[in-house]
A and B are shown apart, each in its own frame.
Chain A
Amino acid sequence: MKKLMLGNEAIARGAFEAGVKVASAYPGTPSTEISENLVQYKEIYCEWAPNEKVATEVAIGASMAGVRSMACMKHVGLNVAADPLYTAGYIGVNGGMVLVVADDPGLYSSQNEQDTRNHARGALVCCIEPSDSQEAKDFTKFAYKISEEYDMPVILRTTTRLAHSQQEVELCDRVEVEDKPYEKNIAKNVMMPANAKRRHVIVEEKLARLAKDGANFEINKMEINDTSIGFVTCGIAYQYVKEAMPNASVLKLGLVNPLPMDLIKEFAKKVDKLVIFEELMPIIEEQVKAAGIDCVGKEMFTVLGEYSANMLKKAFGKAVPAIKQNNLPMRPPILCPGCPHRSVFSVLKKLKIHASGDIGCYTLGAVQPLGVVDSTVCMGASISVLHGIQKAKGDEFTKDWVAVIGDSTFLHTGVNSLMNTVYNKGVGVVMILDNRTTGMTGHQDHAATGKTLQGEETNAVDIPALCRAIGVKRVFEISAFDQKGLEKLLKEELSLRQLSVIVTKAPCALLKGVVFKDKCKEDTEKCKKCGRCLSIGCPALTKCADGTIKIDQSMCNGCGLCQTYCAFDAIKLIKGE
């Protein structure tokens, strides 16, 4: 049977068919749908972990115990999980273990454009890369074979385009894999210096063997056509080569770490000119050049963004239609109508407060007209960056600063930073914007929502109590829409120069079960065209040609924020039943 599947759905299906028993993940675009699809397979235990390090360690434990395991994350998640990964490479596996890591060339929803293959090289682990949904499923299964045969964790690398493209995939049955017995093995599993020194030797040997054997793996494909040009490529870039230069010879690498250099040499001999076509960094290219093989790569193609067939055509001098330079207004993403973050940010804006920001929907607080957020680095950084600023410049300097962090991000790594601020006698105001969900990535539960990935009831972390337990003395909870209360509280806490945590509460406007009954409606007669209501940046509001405002009734969620910004009573809150 065939089914249209996203790359991510196909990976979940591959895990199912491969007999995977345990999977853990932290959400992150473009990897989130893998777990959301794994959950339908009752044979697999799967869960949301609070961060990628935890997810990876869960997978390591399951593998050590003797079953096939998986952890999924976006590329930056692997930075968080790098610590366990680099040592898991030494330990190897018992049951097969695969980390699915999704890169984001073109930065569709990420804070950087890093290339996961660097981590694979650094951690001395195998990395394979599919080029469409069918391969996403097939390679996932193959990854477990490699993992067990070479006693090595395997990274399955994807990219946004692959993860979020659909194609027909042939479904197969699940093949149950017998659990391996757990054997206590201190020399293999306890990585203290003496043991790790020996394991490092073994890892290097295994990698060398894998590189040799890899030349015969079915996941690599050599297509000899016109031999004047030969492309070495991997992942989605292969599709662009086929589209743009259907007659060229191609070596498509499924195995991208370690590289099957014998195969590349063989291919290079068959073609006149060798061209390396890889998105992001010149990882294949540099190794091919180091092996003494003549080739071109980044001399022709950029290290930035996504590739395409037209880009390849252009590089070879073929005419492609150009996009006319147009000065159209951009349409950046914005906070939704009814979003509780908008209410909090408008108070910060009014008080002219600087915000050390974090990652989540509330990063959009940096976008005009709010423009409140000063910095965004990585998940959890808001609290520690503010601490650094305060230690650098003193608490007089940070008297109009706060840290803003979401509930999911606070549990991810923010809690460590808060512990540090308490421990090191830092002061300041930390705002936890608790919207009861992981909003940005599309509403995943987390340890404080009281629901598991399966939707079952479970313990919900009490965030204010957690802050108190860490040692924060001043912890407050307030509705995100209580603007007056929040303003007063903020002024008080900022003046004290102590450490305070303010948890602002209101569910995400798009969360299932949240219903807005009311609507805001303009009264054009009374509108004085001052534009003050537009300063909150709600997309339901527009300015008409005559300067009055209009509220789109299909978009409005009736949060009433615009009404509080109108001094002329020109916006009414129409109560719904």
Chain B
Amino acid sequence: METKNIMIVGVGGQGTLLTSRILGNLIRKYGYDVKLSEVHGMAQRGGSVVTFVRYGDKVYEPIVEEGMADVLIAFERLEAIRYQDFLKDDGVIVLNDVRIDPMPVVIGACEYPKDIVDELKKGHTVYSVNANEEAIKLGNSRVFNLIILGLAAKHLDFKVEDWLSVIEETVPPKTIELNKKAFLLGYEKGE
């Protein structure tokens, strides 16, 4: 199989690491060679963060580069547009349609780009949901990332049962039911 490349981008503190861990454990179940690459430390303090997931018969470099990504999972709009050039021409974007202003925007040094979603749609297929709002409806704003993962799952080659069992193995025991619910909510939005 040709190597598949997934990127998860967002804002430090949004929980991209949990998402990549779930993906990593899932891919292992299917017997692929897998490499994940994460950002720890300084960049986690509200900065722009990127996680790479690559799998296939044999994976060498752990990073995804320009024009390589099959799926771009973006936890925030500005981060989606920042990394859109990493997608293949036929790559898809799974977007959490929310806005988090970076400090240069907050202090008025520059403007938050307008019409990001339209811009993204010009070049790629975009599946989006405001997962933060949906998560609050579920009773916990933190599980928005599982909703996004559910939406992305529609465009990846793994069975729902396997997703659910990996979620069970990966998230803290007390939050299993909530996380599964969030995942399924996203999954159904992908229909």
Contacts and interface: CB of A to CB of B under 8 A. Distances in A.
B35 A329 contact: no
B102 interface: yes
Contact of A323 (B42, B66, B110): B66
Interface string B1-43: 0000000000111000000000011001000011111111111
Contacts of A109: 40-43
Contact of A542 (B39, B62, B106, B136): B106
Interface string A14-33: 00000000000000011011
A328 interface: yes
A441 B42 CA distance: 8
B57 interface: no
Contacts of A442: 40-41, 44
B165 interface: no
B188 interface: no
Given A310-B66, A328-B81, A537-B107, A333 B40 contact: no
Interface in A314-343: 320-324, 326, 328-336
Given A309-B61, A554-B141, A537 B106 contact: yes
Contact of A441 (B41, B60, B66, B81): B41
B130 interface: no
B113 interface: yes
A335 B101 CA distance: 14
A161 B37 contact: yes
A539 interface: yes
Contacts of A239: 60-62
A474 interface: no
B107 A368 contact: yes
Interface in A369-404: 369
A542 B108 CA distance: 10
The residue in B61, B62, B109 that gathers the most chain A C-beta atoms within 10 A of its C-beta is B61
Contacts of A121: none
B103 interface: yes
Contacts of B46: 331, 333-336, 539
A331 B33 CA distance: 33
A91 B13 CA distance: 46
Contact of A29 (B42, B101, B132): B42
Given A331-B47, A539-B46, A4 B36 contact: yes
A329 B104 contact: yes
B34 A329 contact: no
Given A323-B66, A333-B42, A539 B36 contact: no
A83 interface: no
A308 interface: yes
Given A165-B36, A369-B103, A329 B111 contact: yes
Contacts of B108: 531, 534, 543
Given A108-B43, A165-B38, A328 B82 contact: yes
A119 interface: no
A364 interface: yes
Contacts of B110: 329
Contacts of B82: 326, 328, 331
Interface residues of A, number: 57
B156 interface: no
The residue in B38, B48, B65, B136 that gathers the most chain A C-beta atoms within 10 A of its C-beta is B65
Interface string A288-309: 0000000000000000000011
A242 B35 CA distance: 15
A70 interface: no
Interface in B85-116: 85, 100-113
A36 to B, nearest CB: 11
A168 interface: yes
A369 to B, nearest CB: 5
A333 B103 CA distance: 9
Contacts of B70: none
A165 B46 CA distance: 21
Contact of A539 (B38, B67, B103, B141): B103
Contact of A309 (B33, B37, B48, B65): B65
A81 to B, nearest CB: 20
Contacts of A537: 103, 106-107
Nearest to A2: B28
A333 B61 contact: no
Given A243-B60, A243-B61, A364-B45, A4 B24 contact: yes
Contacts of B111: 329
A447 B77 CA distance: 42
Contacts of A166: 24, 34-38
Interface in A528-561: 531, 534-535, 537, 539, 541-543, 552, 554
10 A-B pairs with the lowest CB-CB distances in the bound complex, closest first: A321-B67, A29-B41, A109-B42, A109-B41, A333-B47, A333-B45, A331-B102, A165-B62, A331-B48, A242-B60
Interface of A: 2, 4, 6, 29-30, 32-33, 108-109, 132, 161, 164-168, 236, 239-240, 242-243, 308-310, 320-324, 326, 328-336, 361, 364, 367-369, 440-442, 531, 534-535, 537, 539, 541-543, 552, 554
23 contacts: A4-B36, A32-B40, A108-B42, A164-B38, A164-B39, A166-B24, A166-B38, A167-B34, A236-B61, A239-B62, A242-B60, A321-B85, A322-B66, A322-B85, A323-B66, A326-B81, A328-B82, A331-B47, A332-B103, A334-B46, A369-B107, A442-B40, A543-B106
